[in-house]
Amino acid sequence: MATLIIVSGPSASGKSTLSHRLSKDLQIPMICRDDIKEALFDSMKKAEGVTDRQRSIEYGSAAALILVREVEEFLKTGVSCIIEAKFNPKFSQAELSGLIEKTGANAIQIQTVCDGQVLYSRFKERSLRGERHPGHGDSGNAEEFKDELLDGRFPALDIQGDLLEYDTTQEDENAYQGLLVGIQARLDSHKSVYKILCHDIHGNAHVVDQDKLIKRQASYAFIVQDQKLLLVCDRSGNDRWDFPGGGVDPGEASLEALEREVKEETGLQVAGTPELICSFIEYFYDLEGQAGWESHRSYYRTDVTGKVNTTGNDDDIIAIRSFALPLGSGLHVSPIVALLAQELD
């Protein structure tokens, strides 16, 4: 499940600096409202000499709306992200609450706080240096924000989730590391771990955490010659007949694996281009390795040449036989063999 990290606080309280560092350390994308606002000014070719405070407010509102809509796409696809702005509960409360409810995301709210006098001085110094985009109109709004700055904090949003405070009055690496560890722990607790039911070769069920499954691609051959279906029996001890084929090795294409597996298990050579019949995911439990597998399997109608090695190979195949179609009801075959043999006969 995705997590939305909301970084808010008064102007000049270090929200952007904190957000960028968290984004890097947590490996989570970050969207800053002011970045969008500045892009709006630039796109309207009004970046130079902007002194209109009203226009700055209007662009800020538009940027907040864009931010929420963009973040929704991240959260809907399960991607956690950080958003940063001076989120005023009066204007942002309903939108962010609705976003969290709509996407089902978890929320962590971080409020940056600072000593009021330090914050007011920091804001004025930043305005004098002219570091920020002129669209913010910082040079003329120090008095507008004076009371808010001297208060040293901004009202928190009343939304579900954790609320954390981070004091930026002075740099404190230990405080940052403590915040980082706390956020990471919350992110870990928000991860949904699904349980997958896997069956072993004897049909017994095993419950495995989804994130512990071993994932692998596999290719199998549906080979029919003279109305007879070629099947193999392996060393698993269950005397069950299945299609020749197996796992795709790293760096190997699906059809390359098919050709290799058919050759290894039957001695036959794949001819022409195999036709994909179907693909599906199968979960199974390996008793020897004591592990659950998520096997992404592809089945191909395959033409072959050569002579069958009916005695199997020296690895995992003990017998190879061709069975007349339709298959007899008493033959012990895998479920996929029974299904495809019936549908494709």
What structural domains does the chain harbor? 3-190 (3.40.50.300), 197-344 (3.90.79.10)
85 or 235: which leads in pLDDT? 85
Residue 48 pLDDT > 70: no
27-36, 142-151, 197-206, 327-336: range with lowest mean pLDDT = 142-151
By DSSP bridging, strand 30-32 and strand 81-84 are parallel
Stated length of the chain: 345
Residue 338 pLDDT > 60: yes
Query: For 126-183, what is each residue's pLDDT tens digit?
Result: 877 767 766 666 666 777 788 888 999 999 999 888 999 999 999 999 999 999 999 9
Burial-class residue 14 by CB neighbours within 10 Å (0-12, 13-18, 19+).
Answer: buried
Q: What's the confidence (pLDDT) of residue 231?
A: 95
> Is there a contact between 71 and 31 (Cβ–Cβ < 8 Å)?
yes
> Is there a contact between 305 and 223 (Cβ–Cβ < 8 Å)?
no
Query: For 169-198, what is each residue's pLDDT tens digit?
Result: 999 999 999 999 999 988 888 776 678 999
